[in-house]
Chain A
């Protein structure tokens, strides 16, 4: 059992390390967390993810832009790689779920997709990353194969956005309960609505904001207990 004071110190250093994109600092304190018996989920959610929430605020205030977010993401992954193998397998704390994610065919830009993927990783989801330039039918096939609850599609260019509409139709036809998230510069609320999506983010930074909100919800669930736990 880690003393509360030490726990706070580790969490703060994990958070600060993410915010200041100090990979070595994050590795050091993630290792300390493991060696000293701090719960890995606690370290991920209240250290790494808490830091990413601050990054989101800095992006909101236009102090950070995408280059900074990418470096923060590297720092976060440096910690996640160390902590994730130590997550308790039966933890009811982690909200389990599966997501299929990828960039649609015709689009080879994947920064936004990778940032969203990171937040799903942090949230404890099993992520099925199809990569970029993914043939449209592959999304529907992978969703069916994995029975994932979420499909997240990204397109950076107007010229590839239209592919999203087809994917959504394919998936919703087979499984109307799947939640579809769209992301990318050309995606607006109107487009998301028109295509029948359940959520959207219009830029890589905005994607992080949306994902951070989601992680915030997950942390809240952890604090309040899952509905099934109550």
Chain B
């Protein structure tokens, strides 16, 4: 059997061409403390340097045998560039991701820096992506938050949620503004040559919004985004998604990704076998809490439910147990030789 390079495997996977085995990768953060430690840096330092970002992504894949690398790791790069600042917790012990310290307090007061795409850490992320793409060792993933989730980073979320009922026009204008930002960034990353692009509208599940509201507030903008982007493009949503699977599938993405709250087998029935399905193990529970011996059954359950590749439901918590990650990769290499519903095997 021909053996593919990691990059080739992921590229063919998204074209739905036969692959040798199921690729091990994600559309969300995959950096591990093992890689951070190997580089001799602290987690808080990694986010501000293109070398550290690219180096830690590559080191994580080198150590564990992932097929892809993905940067950045935090959700503040765009809000920071838009003018909302960034808390890096440089002195905090352990792992803390950067956050956005202040938010706009009105829906119509979002005064974005005019040349925000070149501000703050935006050039750092692009430089890291360029390095990884030039290296060519692994497939390179890019990601951008969806407009609602990005909006929640830069404005008080309750303003947005209550505004849906009370100030629909302002909410619409705000969402359009965020949508334009998402498209601009995602297109820039695609122009650099990323191999796949994930739009993470992670805060929009039915834990928060009704399906009816999702259709009104989220779907139109996601449709606009996916229409503007090149393939491969993936839509990921966390939390409750069983009630919005069909609507997600109508947004124009090539693949859908879910977290552990989704009933995958039912989702596969709803979307059929022509859409790439990704998911959905609990990253913290599986890679940090369980015993390594328990990991294969988790991975097998995802495959049995009909995924085309087993993705974690969110960012990997970097402080993984190495043996658990090894068990994840090993199980996928063993079980992944069989074709999946949407992707065949060579």
Contacts and interface: CB of A to CB of B under 8 A. Distances in A.
Interface of A: 62, 65-68, 70-71, 74, 105-109, 111, 114, 133, 157-163, 185-186, 188, 190-191, 194, 203-206
B243 to A, nearest CB: 8
Interface string B157-172: 1100110111000000
Nearest to B96: A106
Contacts of B103: 108
B208 A66 contact: yes
Given A67-B209, A133-B87, A157-B97, 18 more contacts: A66-B161, A67-B161, A67-B162, A67-B164, A71-B162, A71-B165, A74-B162, A105-B89, A107-B99, A111-B158, A158-B284, A159-B95, A159-B96, A159-B315, A162-B94, A163-B96, A186-B284, A203-B207
B97 A160 contact: yes
A108 B162 contact: no
Interface in B48-95: 87, 89, 92, 94-95
Nearest to B159: A70
A65 B97 contact: no
A202 to B, nearest CB: 8
B238 A70 contact: no
B27 interface: no
A66 B283 CA distance: 26
Interface of B: 87, 89, 92, 94-97, 99-101, 103, 152, 157-158, 161-162, 164-166, 206-210, 213, 238-239, 283-285, 289, 314-315, 317, 319
Contact of A161 (B100, B208, B284): B284
A163 B89 CA distance: 13
Contacts of A68: 165
Contacts of A188: 285
Contacts of B162: 67, 70-71, 74
A40 B138 CA distance: 66
A185 B95 contact: no
A55 to B, nearest CB: 14
B75 to A, nearest CB: 9
A73 to B, nearest CB: 9
Contacts of A105: 89, 92, 96
Given A106-B99, A162-B95, A65 B157 contact: no
Contacts of B284: 158, 161, 186, 191
Contacts of A111: 157-158, 161
A68 B164 CA distance: 10
22 contacts: A66-B207, A66-B209, A67-B161, A67-B208, A67-B209, A67-B213, A68-B165, A106-B89, A107-B99, A109-B157, A111-B157, A111-B158, A133-B99, A133-B101, A158-B284, A159-B315, A159-B317, A163-B96, A185-B238, A186-B284, A205-B207, A206-B207
